[in-house]
Copies of this chain bind each other. A is one copy, B any other.
Amino acid sequence: MGDKVNQFDEYRSKMNDRILSVDNKVVKRIFNIDTNAYTEGALPVRTKELLGLVASLVLRCDDCIKYHLLKCKENGVTEEELFEVLGIGTLVGGTIIMPHMRRAVEFWDDMNT
């Protein structure tokens, strides 16, 4: 895995630890649900990660996109499938998504290095 992937992971972990060190119930519970929402259910994990990816894409959150790209790869999503998600996201969300698509593909390639 490339450097960008490692830097992303380290910063995310470090700041999550810092945030969860504070005793705030609302914040802690949101983190907790977030872990549970993407587990196997009526829909498989893989589909849920694709849902998380397209939601992050249309809301244009680069870090959220990266997180779901990592999870998509772990769950065997192919490049062909990825581009179908990117296509739907860019269609629904508009060309304003394009710079995020560029960074998403760059991160995807970095994950595969």
Interface of A is mostly: helix
A92–B11 Cα gap in the complex (Å)?
20
- Chain B: which residue is nearest A54 at the CB level? B51
Contact B90 A94 (CB under 8 A): yes
Contact A81 B27 (CB under 8 A): no
Q: Does A9 contact B (CB under 8 A)?
A: no
Q: In the complex, which residues of chain B have a beta carbon less than 8 angstroms from the beta carbon of A83?
A: 22, 24, 27
User: Interface of A with B (CB < 8 Å)?
Assistant: 11-12, 15-16, 18-19, 22, 24-27, 29-30, 33-34, 36-38, 41-43, 47-48, 50-52, 54-64, 78-81, 83-99, 101-103, 105-106, 109
